[in-house]
Structures are given as C-alpha cells and as structure tokens.
C-alpha cells in the first residue's frame, strides 16, 4: 500500500448479469431484495407480466403489470430480451434497461425462471452469472408458499405441482444454493458476486493498469 495515495485503485469492468431462479417459494425474491438493499451497485431488472398483482406488490417496482394484448405487442416489437410462459402467465425482461446498464458497466439482477435463464445464457453468456436456489425440503417449500399468504390455494397447488419440473434444471446454473438459513444463503450470494466482479475477463481496465505498472520506475 502506497501511503502517499489517497484513494484505492479502481479497475474498469463489464457489468454482471446476475440471474437467480428457483421453484416458487424457495426464497429467491427474498434473497434478491436483501441483496439489492445491501449492495447499491446492483440494479433490478423489472419484468413485465400478465399475472395478477399481489396485494403487497407495487406497479413498476415489482413488475410492470400488462394485459395479454400489451404483452404480445411488446414481445412482437422485439422490446423483450427474453420471455416465457410460467405457471400459466407471461413474463418477460424489457430489453432497453439491460442494454443501457451493460453499456455503462452496471450490474443487474434478474429474478427469472429457467427458460429465461437459458435465453440470456444463449444471448449474453459472457456477462451472465446464474444461481439456482433450492429449498431444504419439499415440505418447507410448501409451508413457505402458504406462509407467504399472497396466492390462492389453487395458485399454490399449481406452483407446487410445477416445482419438480423447475428443480430438474438445477444443473444448468453456475452456482446452486440451498436456502435453509436465509443469512447463510445471502452470504453465499454476496460471496459469488464479490468473486465474479474480480474475474480477469470482466476487468478490461486491467490492461491499462498493468501497462502503467510496468512503465513505472520506482524512485528510491
Ligand atoms: P420466491 O421468490 O422464490 O417465490 P419468496 O422470496 O417470496 O420466494 O419466499 C417465499 C416465502 O418464504 C416468504 O414468505 C419468505 O419470507 C419465506 N422465506 C424465504 N427464505 C426463507 C428462509 N431461509 N427461511 C424461512 N423462510 C424463508
Ligand atoms: P412470480 O409470479 O412468483 O413473481 O414469478 C413466477 C416465476 O416467473 C418465477 O420463477 C420468476 O422468477 C419468473 N419470472 C419473473 N419474471 C420473469 C421474466 O421476466 N422472465 C422469465 N422467463 N421468468 C420470469
């Protein structure tokens, strides 16, 4: 450490596309929300959806809620980076905010299902870091869906029935986390983000730094 220097060295890097998926109720939105509160460098990709708004949800904060017709218009005009039908509703990622964030080297978090993760992986594999969140047991998954108390019994049963098919995709992700203790799961996600930000191939500013380092002649 150079005592004459006042600020730490900043190395320019590409933004991360942090994708988090899980069966419904495993806790990915809780993990995502806490991560966003603790890490101001990450922005949330707010999806469009045709599903009903939950009582606790706020328009344009949790989702952009759309009719099927509006959704189809966005999809057909190529305004969505990816889209999928999940549990009988349409969901999609608006393209423009993502392209802007990536151009500016900002990190973005995507709470999307395995179909969306696959599409982003195909289109932007160099920038995607994917995490799959598992529940500790299926019994706990069921009780979390009930404890959340924001969906009807019918919706909960549809989500539970779909959960095994979603879990089957766990091997397509870079990292897999079991969300038993929430703090431990959050800690794991924070560690992944910290390490991925340090990857050499993401830090294009390293070329200038090393060049300057090698040109420097220490004055003793
Ligand atoms: P998802 O986004 O995966 O559908 P949520 O984040 O909405 O799931 O979590 C579902 C419910 O489980 C919520 O009531 C949440 O508070 C609770 N929950 C999340 N993580 C844990 C955990 N580690 N232990 C106990 N309850 C949890
Ligand atoms: P929920 O209705 O519980 O908010 O979300 C249901 C599922 O849809 C979750 O698995 C969530 O990750 C996924 N989802 C939310 N937004 C998107 C999106 O923009 N694209 C895709 N492919 N899936 C999404």
The answer to whether residue 11 is domain-embedded is no
- How many angstroms separate the alpha carbon of residue 97 from the centre of ligand 2? 17
Domain count, the chain: 1
The answer to whether residue 65 is domain-embedded is yes
Burial class from Cβ neighbours inside 10 Å (0-12, 13-18, 19+) for residue 29 reads middle
**What's the mean pLDDT in 114-120?**
98
Report pLDDT digits (tens) over 170-190.
999 999 999 999 999 999 999
Nearest to 176 by CA among 3, 21, 6: 21
Which residue shows structure tokens 């200038």? 208
The predicted pLDDT at position 92 comes to 98
Global pTM? 0.94
- How many angstroms separate the alpha carbon of residue 166 from the centre of ligand 2? 12
Report pLDDT digits (tens) over 40-87.
999 999 999 999 999 999 999 999 999 999 999 999 999 999 999 998
> Measured from the CB, is residue 28 less than 6 Å from ligand 1?
yes
pLDDT over threshold 70, residue 15: yes
Three-class secondary structure of residue 32 per DSSP: helix
Q: Which atom of ligand 2 is nearest to the CA of 119?
A: 22
Q: What confidence category does residue 7 fall into, taking pLDDT thresholds of 50, 70 and 90? A: confident
Ligand nearest to the CA of 121: 2
Max CA distance (Å), the chain: 75
pLDDT over threshold 60, residue 1: no
What are the residues facing 107 on neighbouring strands?
A: 42
> Measured from the CB, is residue 93 less than 6 Å from ligand 2?
yes
Report pLDDT digits (tens) over 143-176.
999 998 888 899 899 999 999 999 999 999 999 9
Nearest to 105 by CA among 156, 153, 41, 60: 41
> Measured from the CB, is residue 29 less than 6 Å from ligand 1?
yes
- How many angstroms separate the alpha carbon of residue 113 from the centre of ligand 1? 16
User: Per residue in 106-132, is it b (16+ CB within 10 Å) or e — as a string?
Assistant: bbbbbbbbbbbbbbbbeeeeebbbbbb
Q: Was 25 annotated as part of a binding site?
A: yes
**What's the mean pLDDT in 201-216?**
96
The predicted pLDDT at position 220 comes to 76
Residues 56, 41, 175, 148: what is their CA dihedral angle, to the nearest 10 degrees?
Answer: -10
The answer to whether residue 167 is domain-embedded is yes
> Measured from the CB, is residue 113 less than 6 Å from ligand 2?
yes
> Measured from the CB, is residue 24 less than 6 Å from ligand 1?
yes
**What's the mean pLDDT in 133-137?**
97
The answer to whether residue 8 is domain-embedded is no
Q: What confidence category does residue 103 fall into, taking pLDDT thresholds of 50, 70 and 90? A: confident
**What's the mean pLDDT in 192-199?**
97
> Measured from the CB, is residue 112 less than 6 Å from ligand 2?
yes
Q: Are 82 and 93 in contact (CB under 8 A)?
A: yes
Average pLDDT of the chain to the nearest whole number: 94
Domain span at residue 76? 17-198
The answer to whether residue 179 is domain-embedded is yes
Tell me, what CATH number does 163's domain have? Answer: 3.40.50.300
The answer to whether residue 149 is domain-embedded is yes
DSSP class of residue 59 equals: B
Residue % of the chain over a pLDDT of 90:
89
The answer to whether residue 24 is domain-embedded is yes
The predicted pLDDT at position 4 comes to 55
The answer to whether residue 89 is domain-embedded is yes
Pairwise CA distance, residues 217 & 203, whole Å: 24
The predicted pLDDT at position 2 comes to 55
Pairwise CA distance, residues 154 & 158, whole Å: 6
- How many angstroms separate the alpha carbon of residue 11 from the centre of ligand 1? 36
């Amino acid at each position: 450490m150079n005592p004459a220097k006042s600020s730490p060295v900043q190395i320019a890097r590409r933004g991360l596309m942090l994708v988090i998926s899980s069966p419904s109720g495993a806790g990915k939105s809780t993990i995502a929300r806490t991560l966003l509160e603790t890490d101001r460098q990450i922005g949330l990709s707010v999806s469009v959806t045709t599903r009903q708004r939950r009582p606790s949800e706020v328009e344009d904060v949790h989702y952009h809620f759309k009719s099927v017709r509006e959704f189809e218009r966005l999809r057909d005009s190529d305004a969505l980076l990816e889209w999928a039908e999940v549990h009988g509703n349409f969901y999609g990622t608006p393209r423009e905010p993502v392209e802007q964030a990536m151009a500016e080297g900002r990190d973005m978090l995507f709470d999307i299902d395995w179909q969306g993760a696959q599409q982003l992986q195909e289109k932007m594999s160099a920038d995607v870091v994917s995490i799959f969140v598992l529940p500790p047991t299926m019994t706990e998954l069921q009780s979390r869906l009930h404890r959340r108390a924001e969906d009807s019994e019918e919706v909960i049963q549809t989500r539970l029935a779909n959960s095994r098919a979603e879990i089957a995709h766990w091997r397509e992700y870079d990292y897999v986390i079991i969300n038993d203790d929430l703090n431990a799961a959050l800690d794991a996600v924070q560690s992944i983000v910290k390490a991925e930000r340090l990857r050499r191939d993401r830090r294009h500013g390293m070329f200038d730094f090393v060049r300057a380092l090698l040109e420097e002649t220490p004055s003793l």
